[in-house]
Amino acid sequence: MTRHRKGEPLPQGEEKARTVRRLFDTVSPRYDLVNRVMTFGMDAGWRRRTVRELGLPPGSRVFDLACGTGDLCRDLAAAGHRPFGFDFSHGMLLAARTHAPLVEADILRLPVRDASADGATCGFALRNVVSLRKLFAELARAVRLEGRIALLETSEPDSSLMRLGHRVYFRKVVPAIGGLLSDREAYSYLPRSTAYLPAPNDLLSMLREAGFSDARRLSLGGGVTQLLVATRA
């Protein structure tokens, strides 16, 4: 089993998929705890904002991609929606705490009919997929016309001072917290994986090309998190 050390090139293609699956299977038992600690609990508010930005009426069918332990599924259900979760990590699904139906599946190849969702969410997983273009194309296929998407992901603050502090925290403190509470290898890899993310304007351009013409970006938590929202045109 391949393991990646700090300083090594980030994995690509199918090797990346295998690495991500293995790491999330490993951290699944304490994933929620580490998230709460390393975000000082702010992740809960970010997920609630994600659900609000969908702007869908109660009863809407919403697919949560890379659903993990079901945090967004629970928030979607609390807002009156009908969530369905998809994740390719068996360990994360076993650790899930939600009543929503869950499916073990690659989110680049969803086992659903065209236009079968009113909306879709994704929390902190854009950097973990093999191809963002394929993911956005799959979202465009699965979400009906005038349906909504809200995609939550890490980012870097605009302020140079905050950006420096964020880098130190993300690259030094987060692995230490992960090592103490869960698995240091995983929480050393995950901060490095932000290198996979294109610039914000490029992300928006990719979404628009995929069929989400009004895609826009919201900055949360002083810029440490970004939320991409759009309507299927």
pLDDT averaged per 10 residues in sequence order, the chain, 233 residues: 58 96 95 91 96 98 98 98 98 97 98 98 97 98 98 90 84 88 90 94 98 97 95 97
Neighbour tally for 112: CB within 10 Å: 17
Neighbour tally for 66: CB within 10 Å: 23
Q: What pLDDT was estimated at residue 2?
A: 42
Q: What pLDDT was estimated at residue 161?
A: 81
Q: What pTM was computed for the model? A: 0.92
Q: What pLDDT was estimated at residue 143?
A: 98
Exposed / middle / buried, residue 194 (Cβ in 10 Å: 0-12, 13-18, 19+): middle
Domain boundaries, the chain: 13-231
Helix residue ranges, H only, 8-82? 13-27, 31-38, 42-54, 71-78
For 13-231, CATH gives: 3.40.50.150
Q: What pLDDT was estimated at residue 4?
A: 47
